[in-house]
Amino acid sequence: MAELTYRDAIARGIAQEMRRDHNVVFLGEDVAAAGGVFKTTVGLLDEFGPLRVRDTPISEQAILGAAMGAAMTGLRPIAEIMFSDFFAVCWDIVANEIAKSRYMTNGQVSFPLVIRSGNGGGLRFGAQHSQSVENWAMMIPGLKVVVPATPLDVIGLLAAAIRDPDPVIFLEAKALYSTKGEVPDGEIVDELGTAKVVREGSDATIVALGTMVARALESANQLSEAGVECTVLDLRSLVPLDTQTLLAEVSKTGRMFTVEENPRLCGWGGELVSIVTEEVFFDLDGPPVRITTPHIPLPAADALEDMAIPSVERITATIQKAMNS
């Protein structure tokens, strides 16, 4: 058992799969010699060499075009898009080519590739480098969408994503890169589409993702002191979505609160509310409540960014108000 940072877990997860399968290759901007702009890929070039770990030009279209071609010809590429905001300049390749080509070729061509990217705010990078875009990706048929919250989940879910036959968008919470967690020795492989109950309670279910998981846990501990016991459910994966666990946990408590870093309009919590109200409406003791970032470009100023992204204090206050009403 070792304690790893979230960023070191990424390098370990990639290395694990590159050792296992020589068809796994890795490409992106500054991922080789520099070890990644966020230092998430340190040591990979030294171990696997420049044929399998490749620096690319500053062109997201080139990175994903090369990854798509590599996947079509039998490799299992991992492509890094430095900031998830930059999906905007290569979205045609993601949404219209990578996501749809297996379907359009009737399975004659497969696309076993992973697109990694730093996602979300909290680091004062401003509106063009701080977006939380998981809701962009989850609406595209043909893409799987994964957002790990801990170093252990980083390794296990990354391994599952690399081994998956379909394209996976793997979104890493930039605000978590320096956080630490216990990780066992040996090979770690998880399963896509499985949510994890990280805290059990009887009064309400808090559903969270990525950076918001730790904040939901801290809020649940505060609420416990006030006599409100909350289950915290880490979704981990938006596509496929573990609806069985979601519905079971909400049915147990009768209340659901989603904590979302993405902007409120068309956020993933809206889809969860729809599923819950359609499937277990009569198990609810009150309306589902969404706690989100407002529908605004994320500010760079620290006080304003902190005000926009759901904080522990806002989560706690919102749940207390709803439970007492």
pLDDT above 90 covers what percent of the chain? 99
Residue 24 has pLDDT above 90, yes or no: yes
Confidence at residue 280, expressed as pLDDT on a 0 to 100 scale: 98
Confidence at residue 309, expressed as pLDDT on a 0 to 100 scale: 97
Residue 233 has pLDDT above 90, yes or no: yes
Check: pTM over 0.85? Answer yes or no: yes
Q: Can you say how many angstroms the Cα of residue 280 is from the centroid of all Cα atoms in its chain?
A: 26
Residue 301 has pLDDT above 90, yes or no: yes
What are the pLDDT digits (tens) for 306-321? 999 999 999 999 999 9
- Is 16 strand, coil or helix? helix
Residue 325 has pLDDT above 90, yes or no: no
Burial track 213-232 (b if 16+ CB lie within 10 A, e otherwise): bbbbbbbbebbeeeebebbb
- Is 130 strand, coil or helix? coil
In this prediction, residue 304 has a pLDDT band, given cuts at 50, 70 and 90, of very high
- Provide mean pLDDT across the span 155-164: 98
Of 70, 80, 152, give the one whose Cα is nearest residue 116.
80
What are the pLDDT digits (tens) for 264-276? 999 999 999 999 9
Confidence at residue 1, expressed as pLDDT on a 0 to 100 scale: 83
d(CA 30, CA 85): 17
- Is 310 strand, coil or helix? coil
Host H or E run for residue 7: helix 6-20
Residue 83 has pLDDT above 90, yes or no: yes
Confidence at residue 319, expressed as pLDDT on a 0 to 100 scale: 98
Query: With contact defined as beta carbons under 8 Å apart, do 119 and 87 qualify?
Result: no
What are the pLDDT digits (tens) for 97-121? 999 999 999 999 999 999 999 999 9
Query: With contact defined as beta carbons under 8 Å apart, do 134 and 171 qualify?
Result: yes
Confidence at residue 182, expressed as pLDDT on a 0 to 100 scale: 96
pLDDT above 70 covers what percent of the chain? 100
Host H or E run for residue 144: strand 144-146
- Which is catalytic among the residues 7, 129, 255, 290? 129
129 annotated active-site: yes
Query: With contact defined as beta carbons under 8 Å apart, do 35 and 66 qualify?
Result: no
Query: With contact defined as beta carbons under 8 Å apart, do 246 and 220 qualify?
Result: no
Confidence at residue 112, expressed as pLDDT on a 0 to 100 scale: 97
d(CA 184, CA 245): 25
The rounded radius of gyration (Å) of the Cα atoms in the chain is 19
What are the pLDDT digits (tens) for 164-201? 999 999 999 999 999 999 999 999 999 999 999 999 99
Domains of the chain in sequence order: 2-183 (3.40.50.970), 196-324 (3.40.50.920)
- Is 179 strand, coil or helix? coil
Region of residue 19 (phi > 0: left; psi between -120 and 50: alpha; otherwise: beta): alpha
DSSP string, 24-64: EEEEETT-STT--TTS-STTHHHHH-TTTEEE--S-HHHHH
Which residue's entry shows tokens 């979704």?
235
- Provide mean pLDDT across the span 249-258: 98
